[in-house]
Amino acid sequence: MGFELMTEKWSGKINEVSIGALQSEGGSRSNVVTVGGQATLPFLFSEGSIPHKPVIAYEIWDVPPDDWPEALNKELKSVYNDPLAWADKCVKEYKAQLLCLKLQGAHPDSGNKKPDQEGKLVQNLLKKVGVPLIILGCGDDAQDNLVLPVCGEAAHGERCLIGDAVQENYKTLAASVLADGHAIIAESPIDINIAKQLNILISDMGMPPERIVMNPTVGALGYGLEYTYSIMERARLAALCGDKTVASPFICFVGQETWKTKEAKALQSEFPSWGGETERGIVWESLTAVSLLQSGADIVVMRHPKAGAKVEEYINDLMKG
């Protein structure tokens, strides 16, 4: 007796969002990264179209990180003091198609860099490398409201992805992103209702749906990953069933969450039975990323290039259908 594979048919689909603008589009990027557009759950090609594969963005900082573990330092410390060299390394050595610039130096506790300093960095970075750019603030709302609009203006026409906008503090960023032709990251604290409300609020300011990406604030393997997974899955199911308020692609900051966990950064001398910390950290970042890809992640922002390479191989294998 044979069995017929059960398939779902969906009425909705995920919005397509493009990052980067070519010269013909008014920008100067060498490539454009487009995410979203799925009419099915992740990698289920038999149930609907998946026009674009998930992408990896490599994270770079404007100041040297002071709390990254040795496993990352061994790979990246030589470029910590030069964000332009860091970006160039990611593009040339790691074949990055998308970069994520973290403006940590604008934070009052990390240098308190001025808006014009960060705007100049963005301009120089766009000249140095041709790939599209994600621009993240420092996490201090007051500073980000000053710095991010200047950076968005410096990158006018390049169609960057800029964030994060949160429910309590979204208006200034949304207005500047809209004016300069960029896309926006809407951050919600692992809560589908807040995610939905924030998307509505940003849309009400005139932001088209194809310029909104959701950051559900994920957890790493062993640190809330299963809860993150369930919230992302609920949002994706709702979108595919026709709820347009949550039909935005997901961005997940995997490296940020992974490399602060004990399992990823503890020294082998502290836990001999755990094995080497470098290999362990790479595996932890890779497993976190592939898990989130299965829950609907469209962009995973990563730190270690070996983890990025493993996840890229995983994506390519699954995209064969």
Q: For the segment 117-172, what is each residue's pLDDT rounded down to a tens digit?
A: 999 999 999 999 999 999 999 999 999 999 999 999 999 999 999 999 999 899 99
Which domain covers residue 180, as residue numbers?
Answer: 17-318
pLDDT(5) > 80: no
Q: Is residue 161 part of a domain?
A: yes
Q: Is residue 7 part of a domain?
A: no
Contact 106, 144 (CB under 8 A): yes
pLDDT(6) > 90: no
pTM metric for this prediction: 0.96
Q: According to the model, what pLDDT value does residue 267 have? A: 86
| Mean pLDDT in residue range 46-70 | 96
Exposure of 235 in the CB half-sphere (CA atoms within 13 A): 30
Q: According to the model, what pLDDT value does residue 227 have? A: 94
Q: Which two tokens stand for residue 311?
A: 């996840």
Of the pLDDT bands very low, low, confident and very high (cuts 50, 70, 90), residue 241 is: very high
Query: How far apart are the C-alpha atoms of 172 and 140, rounded to whole Å?
Result: 14
Q: Is residue 5 part of a domain?
A: no
Q: Is residue 1 part of a domain?
A: no
User: What integer best gives the mean pLDDT of the chain?
Assistant: 95
- Span of 68-77, 261-270, 289-298 with lowest mean pLDDT: 261-270
Total domains present in the chain: 1
pLDDT(238) > 60: yes
Question: Who's near 306: CB < 8 A, 6+ residues apart?
Answer: 75, 282
Query: How far apart are the C-alpha atoms of 82 and 94, rounded to whole Å?
Result: 17
Q: Is residue 35 part of a domain?
A: yes
CATH of the domain at 37: 3.20.20.20
Of the pLDDT bands very low, low, confident and very high (cuts 50, 70, 90), residue 2 is: low
What is the per-residue DSSP string for 181-224? T-EEEEE-SS-HHHHHHHHHHHHHTT--GGGEEEE-----TTTT
| Mean pLDDT in residue range 304-321 | 96
Query: How far apart are the C-alpha atoms of 206 and 211, rounded to whole Å?
Result: 10
- Span of 4-18, 142-156, 210-224, 248-262 with lowest mean pLDDT: 4-18
Instruction: Find the angle CA(81)-CA(84)-CA(85) to the nearest 5 degrees.
Output: 70
pLDDT(220) > 70: yes
- The alpha carbon torsion through 164, 157, 62, 286 (nearest 10 deg) reads 60
Q: Which helix (H) or strand (E) element contains residue 239?
A: helix 225-240
Query: How far apart are the C-alpha atoms of 91 and 97, rounded to whole Å?
Result: 7
Q: Tokens 């609009």 appear where? A: 149
Of the pLDDT bands very low, low, confident and very high (cuts 50, 70, 90), residue 283 is: very high
Q: Is residue 4 part of a domain?
A: no
Q: Which two tokens stand for residue 132?
A: 């599209």
Q: Is residue 10 part of a domain?
A: no
Q: Which two tokens stand for residue 38?
A: 């799925």
The percent of residues above 70 in pLDDT, for the chain, comes to 99
Q: Is residue 63 part of a domain?
A: yes
pLDDT(4) > 90: no
Of the pLDDT bands very low, low, confident and very high (cuts 50, 70, 90), residue 1 is: low
pLDDT(303) > 60: yes
Q: According to the model, what pLDDT value does residue 233 have? A: 96
pLDDT(201) > 70: yes
Query: How far apart are the C-alpha atoms of 139 and 189, rounded to whole Å?
Result: 14
Instruction: Find the angle CA(146)-CA(151)-CA(154) to the nearest 5 degrees.
Output: 135
| Mean pLDDT in residue range 290-303 | 98
Question: Who's near 309: CB < 8 A, 6+ residues apart?
Answer: 94
